A and B are shown apart, each in its own frame.
Chain A
Amino acid sequence: MSTPAGSAPGTHPGDAGEVAGALAGPALLELLSGFIVELREAGLPVSLTENLDAMAAVREIPLEDRSAFKYALAATLVKNHAHWRAFETVFEVYFSHRGSHYGIGDEADAETSPFDDEDMDAAGQGDGSGQGQGQGGAGENLTPEELAQMLYQSLLQADQAMMRAAARQSVKRYAGMEPGRPVGGTYYLYRTLRNLDLDGMLEQLMDAAREQAPDDLTPLEERLEHDEYESRIEQFKQEVEAEIRRRLVADRGVEAMAKTLRKPLPEDIDFMHASREEMVSLRKALQPLTRRLAVRLARKRRHGRKGALDFRNTVRHSLSYGGVPAEPKFRYPRPSKPEIFVIADISGSVAAFARFTLHLVHAIAGQFSKVRSFVFIDGVDEVTSFFEGTEDILEAIHRVNTEADVVWVDGHSDYGHAFEVFWQRWGRDIGPKTTVLILGDARNNYHASQSWVIKEMQHKARHVYWLNPEPRAYWDTGDSIVGEYGVHCDGTFECRNLRQLERFVDHLV
C-alpha cells in the first residue's frame, strides 16, 4: 500500500509548489527549457526574447501558485489564442506530473493518499487499493454503485474536490492502465467513460432537478438546468483526462508523453483526416478567419491601385494654377471584382474539404461580384440558390449535402461525366471575368477524364484553379489524375489545411 501522507515532503497546497520546491534554480531552468522546446515542437512560434521574458516573468511570481505560474508562462509565450489549447496540454504534462506522486493536494481533500510508483503499477492490475477520499467520506474499495453515487453527488453539488476524487477512482477502476503499454490516453479515456454511463447520469441529475423544483420546471428552466449539468459533466471528463495524463506521465516520462499528446494546431489540421473533435475546432477557427480575410481583402482592394488619370478633372483643376496642370487628378479606382464559379467534389473522401471551402468562399462573397457553386459526385448540380437569401451558411451547407442532386449512376466520383454535364448545362455562362475553382482529389475511379472540358474552360475563363486536399506526394498515384487536368489549369494548389486555404484565397483576390 501507499505511504501515508505525512511522508510527502511538506504539505504544500498546490502540486506545482512541489515542482518548484523540488526544482530550485538550474533545475527549474532546465525544466522550462524542455517545456519551451516542446512548445516549439508542437508548432508554436516561440522566439528567444519570449523565452527570456518567460524566465523573467516566473521570477516575479510566487512559484507555489500554480495558476499564476501558468498565466505568467502563457502571457509571455503564447501570442495567439488559437494556440492556447496546445499550450495547455504541454503545460499539464510538464508541470503536474509530480502531483501524482503526492496525491492531488487540495485543502478540502484532507487525507490525500499519495501513491508511489509501485502503486502506479499496481493500479494497472486493477487491484483497486483504497484511496482516502477526504470529503467523499468513502473509504476503501468502492463498489461500482458507490462510485456512481459519489460521482452523482459531486455533480449535483458541483463539488470540485469530490469530482476530482471520483475521477481518480474511476480511472483506477475502469481504465485498466498497464505500465509501458503503448496506447494513447484517448483509449483509456474511452474505457473509463464507457463504464460510467454519463448520459444516464445526466438523466438522473435532471430528474433530481425536477424533483427539487417547487413547481414544474418551465421549458426554459429545463434547458438551463440541462446546460448546467452538462458543463459539470464536461468538467468531470476533464478531470478524468487529467488523471489519466498524470499517470501516463509518471509511467513514461515527460518528453515521451508530450510527444504522444501533441496535436496539430487548428490551422494545421488536415481536412481529410480530421477527427470529429478537430472538426469542431476547425469550424471555430474558420469564423475569425473569414472575418480577417474579408477585412484584409477589402483593404487591399482600396489601397492596391491608383485609378487612371482623369483628364477632364485635371484640366479643370489646372485653371486655378493658370492653366498649368500642377495637380493631376485620378479616377476613383474601381477594380473589377472577379466572378467565382466553385465546382466541388462532395463525395465522402473530400466532403469536409469541400464544405470548408464553400463556407469560406460564401462568407467572403462580398469580395466577388458573383459566386456560383456547383457540386458533383458523378452527377452535377447547381447549389447557388441554397446560399442566397439566407445568412446562415451552415444551414445552406447542410442543404447542399442533403438536397443536391449529384448522384448519376452509383455515387462514386466520376469527374469526367460531371464535367461533361457541367459544360453542356452551364458552360456558356463562363465568361472572361470568371474565375473557376475546382475542388477535389481527382480520384476518378478509372473513368474517362474528359479533360477537354477543362481545356475549353481555360480558353473562356479568366483563370481556372484546381485545389486538391491531398498531399502533393499522392497526386497522380492510383486513380488520381490531377496531372491530366492540371496541365489545363492556371494553377494547381495543395490545400490540406486552413493555412493553405487562407493563402490561396489571398492569392485569388
Chain B
Amino acid sequence: MSEPRFTDVDSVREQLREVDYLSDEGIAGIVYLADRLGKPILVEGPAGTGKTQLAKSTAEILGARLVRLQCYEGLDESKALYEWNYKKQLLRIQATRSDDEDSGWADISDDIFSDEFLLTRPLLEAITADDPVVLLIDEVDRVEVETEALLLEILSDYQVSIPELGTIEAKQVPLVFLTSNNTRELSEALKRRCLYLHVDYPDMDREKEIVLTKVPEITESLADQVARIVRSVRQLELKKAPSVSETLDWANTLLLLGVDKVDAATASDTVNILLKYQSDIAKARKEFASDSEAFEGSSA
C-alpha cells in the first residue's frame, strides 16, 4: 500500500483551509481516515454545500490530478470503465491481411485485445494512472441501481476485470469521493464499502468564515449579518433552503449594491437570490415584514 498522505487530522484541516476550503473536524477527520484505511468516501447532503468542492480541494492540496466521472441515467460500462477501440481493431485486421496472408488468426486476436486498443474511461484511468489522482464519482445517485454494481469492484479492491485482458490492479490506491444528492437510497452494497460523510449546511460561525474567505472585500459586520439572516431563513419551512453557494451569491450582490447594513427592505428586495421558489420567497418576505409589525407592537 502507498504512503499515507496526511500526518494527522489537524493538518488535513489546515491544508484545506489554505486552499480556501473551510472544513469542520468531521470533514477533515473523515478525509484523514479515508486515506489511512484506503476506503472511498460517500459524501451526502443538500445541494450546494460543497460536496464536489471537497474533492477538488483535496486534489489541490495533494497536488493530484482530479479524475471525474459525472454520473447520469444510462451511464454504462463503456462510458465509465473502458471500451475497445473497435475501429482501430478493424484497421489492424485489415492491415494484417493485406501484407501477410499467412499470419494466423490467433496472432491477430491476441494482438487486437491488448492495451493498445483499449480506451480507458475515468474509472480505469484513475487506477492505472502513474501520477497521484483523486477520483470523483459525482452524483452517484443518478445511475440506476443495476449500474451501481459497476462501481463495486473498483471501490472495494481497486481493480477492474476485463474479460479479454484479465484483472487490472491499481498501481496506487487513489483517494475516491462519491457524492450523492440523496434522490434515491443507494444500495447497501455500495454504502458498506464507503465511509459515510454527511455535509450539512454549516453553522453560523463557519458560514461567516466561508463568506469572509470567498468574498474577500466584504466587511466583517456585513458577513456577520449575512450569516445570521441566512440562518434565520433556513429555520423557516421552505421547499429549498438556501445553500452555501447561494449565500455567497447574496453576499456578492450586497457588496455590489454597496450595502453595508442589511435592513428588512434590502433583505426582501434581494431575497430572490437566496431562494428560488416563488412560495419560499413570499414566505421569507412575509417573515421579514411580520417582524416589523411585531416590533411595532412591542415598542408601543
Contact = CB atoms under 8 A, between A and B. Distances in A.
Contacts of B299: 216
9 closest residue pairs by CB, A with B: A219-B292, A391-B279, A219-B295, A79-B191, A219-B291, A75-B195, A60-B36, A71-B29, A224-B228
A399 interface: no
B262 interface: yes
Contact of A224 (B194, B232, B295): B232
Contact of B184 (A53, A79, A292): A292
Interface of A: 45, 47, 49-50, 53, 56-57, 60-62, 65, 67-68, 71-72, 74-76, 78-81, 84, 216-220, 222-224, 227-228, 231, 283, 288, 291-292, 295-296, 299, 390-392, 394
B29 A218 contact: no
Given A53-B37, A57-B37, A223 B30 contact: no
B232 A223 contact: yes
Given A57-B37, A79-B192, A299-B144, 17 more contacts: A49-B192, A53-B39, A57-B33, A60-B32, A60-B33, A67-B26, A67-B29, A71-B30, A75-B33, A219-B264, A219-B288, A219-B295, A220-B288, A227-B228, A283-B237, A291-B183, A391-B239
Given A219-B291, A220-B264, A299-B73, A45 B188 contact: yes
Interface in B253-278: 262-264, 267, 277-278
A227 B232 CA distance: 7
Nearest to B225: A224
B229 interface: yes
Contact of A220 (B30, B204, B229): B229
Interface of B: 8-9, 25-26, 29-30, 32-33, 36-37, 39, 42, 44-45, 73, 144, 182-185, 188, 191-192, 194-198, 204, 225, 228-229, 231-232, 235, 237, 239, 262-264, 267, 277-279, 283, 288, 291-292, 294-295, 299
Given A49-B192, A81-B44, A222 B239 contact: no
7 contacts: A61-B29, A67-B29, A71-B26, A216-B299, A288-B182, A292-B182, A292-B183
A299 B143 CA distance: 11
B198 to A, nearest CB: 4
Contacts of B29: 61, 67-68, 71-72, 75
Given A71-B25, A71-B30, A220-B264, A228 B228 contact: yes
A225 to B, nearest CB: 9
Contacts of A394: 237
Nearest to B38: A56
Given A60-B36, A60-B37, A68-B29, A220 B291 contact: yes
Nearest to B296: A219
A295 B295 contact: no
Given A288-B182, A291-B183, A74 B196 contact: yes
Contacts of A61: 9, 29, 32-33
B182 to A, nearest CB: 6
B264 A81 contact: no
A96 B93 CA distance: 70
Contact of A79 (B196, B231, B235): B196
A392 B197 CA distance: 31
A391 B237 CA distance: 12
Contact of B30 (A53, A75, A222, A283): A75
A199 B186 CA distance: 43
Q: Considering residues A56, A219, A227, A283, which has the most beta carbons from chain B within 10 angstroms of its beta carbon?
A: A219
A217 B294 CA distance: 13
B209 to A, nearest CB: 16
A227 B235 contact: yes
B55 to A, nearest CB: 16
A220 B226 CA distance: 12
Contact of B231 (A56, A218, A227): A227
A47 B192 contact: yes
A296 B184 CA distance: 7
Contacts of A227: 228, 231-232, 235
B184 A56 contact: no
Contact of B294 (A81, A219, A292): A219
Given A45-B188, A75-B196, A67 B25 contact: yes
Given A390-B279, A391-B239, A76 B228 contact: no
A390 B182 CA distance: 26
A228 B264 CA distance: 17
Contacts of A288: 182
A76 B196 CA distance: 6
Contacts of A80: 196
Contacts of B279: 390-392
Contacts of A295: 183-184
Contacts of B73: 299
A153 to B, nearest CB: 20
A391 B283 CA distance: 11
Contacts of B25: 67-68, 71
A150 to B, nearest CB: 24
Contacts of A78: 196
Given A68-B9, A223-B291, A291-B183, A56 B37 contact: yes
Nearest to A78: B196
Contacts of A56: 37
A217 B188 CA distance: 52
Contacts of A75: 29-30, 33, 195-197
B11 to A, nearest CB: 13
Nearest to A288: B182
A49 B182 CA distance: 23
A98 B198 CA distance: 29
B42 to A, nearest CB: 7
Contacts of A45: 188
A224 B264 CA distance: 11
Nearest to B9: A68
Contacts of B231: 227, 231
A110 B101 CA distance: 91
A57 B30 CA distance: 10
A283 B238 CA distance: 12
A391 B278 contact: yes
A222 B198 contact: no
A218 B32 CA distance: 45
Nearest to B195: A75
A219 B294 CA distance: 8
Contacts of A62: 8
A222 B295 contact: yes
Contacts of B196: 74-76, 78-80
Contact of A218 (B8, B263, B294): B263
